[in-house]
Amino acid sequence: MRALHNARFVSRSRRSSSSYYGWRIVAVAFLTHCLNVGCVFYSFGVFFTPLIAEFGWTRAQISWGFSSVSIVGALWSPFVGRIVDRHGSRPSQIFGALVLGGTFMLLSQVRSLAQYYLLMALCVSLGSTALGPIPSNSAVAGWFLRRRGRALGFATAGISMGGVVFVPLAQTLISHLGWRQAFIALGALVIGAGVAPIALVMRKPPAELPADERWAAGVPGIAFEIERSVTARDAVRDPNFWLIAGAFSLTVMGLSAVLLHQVPLLIDVGVSPAHAALALGATAGVGVVGKLGFGALLERVEQRRVIVGCFLAQAAGLLLLPFARVPALLVLYVVVYGYAMGGNATLQATVLGECFGRRHYGAIAGRMGPIIVFSQAVAVPLVGWLRDRTGSYLPAILAIEAMTLVAAFCISRLRPPAWRSVRAT
């Protein structure tokens, strides 16, 4: 039965490169990234102001709700990774979409900070982890070899598209319906748009995929050796694992804090709420282009150089943010920082595949996930606390600038195994 299942997808992929079934997996991964990150991450920047107005909560208190998603999600990550490796991404993601959508509807009934924390920590974290990057990126990495960078670039573009779609959508829903009804609408959207495509399209990669992908892309036999996989246990003993974890922990801390606080930060410097929301959506939109650009660039330039360049561009763009009251500098920030931050998720996903292979990708990502998300969980409320205490976001921006430069240094020290550095031609 398994052989028949595999043969069906292999025969489909050989009709033409464009009809290769893996691209359908990419499309659904794009959608799940968009729904997950758009709701859980980008839309919360828009909910800051109405929640403060309704309850009088501080920025730090609201940020801790988001951080609780990261903290508890880190505990779910290893379990989700093992489930994905054993059973594929489909059951995990269907479950995640149902839980996440249902919990957003429940958030509309929140009456206290304790209720808010409980729903965010226990339910949003579970739904987001089960729907999010571990199953999505594992599925794409499993279906591609040489074109993995491009495939992951397209798939993770859904992360930035989540900002393009959900920032203005959340702003519109809140303006016309109120924040409670907005939560209900977003929850219904996650379930309605997510469950059916996942159920119909998501599949485990066939066992003979490496040979098939080699045929589709013209990759010679050496690529098959490059594809050798490392177990999760062996990966965590590799210095490369910790360099990757450290670097992306630092950049994700910065990215999460900047993007989640970008709307209130821009309002602080004199930008109107409507224009601040538009700028966040535009930043995410440029991020779509960045993901595609960095994904294609990986096929031509060594990964370390691409990642270091991405981090340095993030640092350069961030320097413009305190001066965003000047329209030209705000536009320049959106272009530079948006493009650079767009590559972050793509590069994190591809460098894991480059260093450790595809067979145990989910388990390795699950081991690394807690390290990154715990760091993210600390950064977001810390930035809110600094703003509350100092009355300015500038100290936080300078700290993020330093962390981004340290991350670039960590990646410059990355030494993948020699047999993985050979590029297929």
d(CA 134, CA 78): 10
pLDDT attached to residue 8: 52
Q: What is the pLDDT of residue 315?
A: 93
Task: Give residue 358's pLDDT.
Answer: 66
What single-letter DSSP state applies at residue 204? P
Q: Which two tokens stand for residue 65?
A: 């709700």
What's the pLDDT tens digit per position in 203-222? 887 765 544 454 444 444 44
Q: How far apart are CA 66 and CA 41, in angstroms?
A: 8
Tell me the domain boundaries of the chain: 21-420
91-100, 168-177, 225-234, 270-279: which has the highest mean pLDDT? 91-100
User: Looking at the predicted structure, is the pLDDT value of residue 380 above 90?
Assistant: no
What is the mean predicted confidence (pLDDT) over 267-288?
Answer: 84
Mean pLDDT over each residue of the chain, to the nearest integer:
82
pLDDT at 418: 44
CA distance 208 to 217: 15
Residue 87 reports pLDDT greater than 70: yes
Q: Where are the alpha helices (DSSP H) in 202-302?
A: 209-217, 222-226, 232-235, 239-268, 273-297
Assign 129 a pLDDT band (cuts: 50, 70, 90): very high
Q: Cα(386)–Cα(61) distance, rounded to whole angstroms?
A: 12
% of the chain with per-residue pLDDT over 90? 33
Q: Which of 86, 362, 412 is nearest to 231 (CA)?
A: 362
CA–CA dist 2, 10 (Å, integer):
12
pLDDT above 50: residue 196: yes
The average pLDDT across 75-96 equals 89
Q: Find out whether 120 and 84 touch, Cβ atoms under 8 Å.
A: no
Count of CB atoms situated within 10 Å of the CB of 87: 11
- DSSP string of 209-236, one letter each residue: HHHHHHHHHT--THHHHHT----HHHHT
Mean pLDDT of the 311-316 span: 93
**Multiple choice CATH, 21-420, 3.40.605.10, 3.40.50.280, 1.20.1250.20, 3.40.50.620:** 1.20.1250.20
Segment 13-22, tens digit of pLDDT: 444 455 788 8
User: What is the average per-residue pLDDT within 79-98?
Assistant: 91
pLDDT band at 332 (very low <50, low <70, confident <90, very high): very high
- The conformation of residue 391, written as its DSSP 8-state character, comes to S
Residue 224: pLDDT over 50 = no
Residue 305: count other Cβ atoms within 10 Å of its Cβ: 12
Residue 417: the pLDDT is: 60
pLDDT at 202 over 90: yes
Contacts within 8 Å (CB) and 24+ apart, 47-55: 47/170, 47/174, 47/179, 47/182, 48/263, 48/264, 49/263, 49/264, 49/267, 49/273, 50/174, 50/178, 50/179, 51/179, 54/179, 55/113
Whether the pLDDT of residue 423 is over 60: the answer is: no
| C-beta of residue 6 within 8 angstroms of C-beta of residue 208 | yes
Mean pLDDT of 146-150: 76
Are 88 and 140 spatial neighbours (Cβ–Cβ below 8 Å)? no
Count of other CB atoms within 10 angstroms of residue 220: 10
Nearest CA-CA partner of 373 in 67, 130, 97, 150: 67
Judged by DSSP in three states, 422 sits in coil
Q: Where are the alpha helices (DSSP H) in 298-425?
A: 303-318, 327-356, 361-390, 394-412
pLDDT score of 285 more than 80 = yes
The predicted structure's pLDDT at residue 198:
96
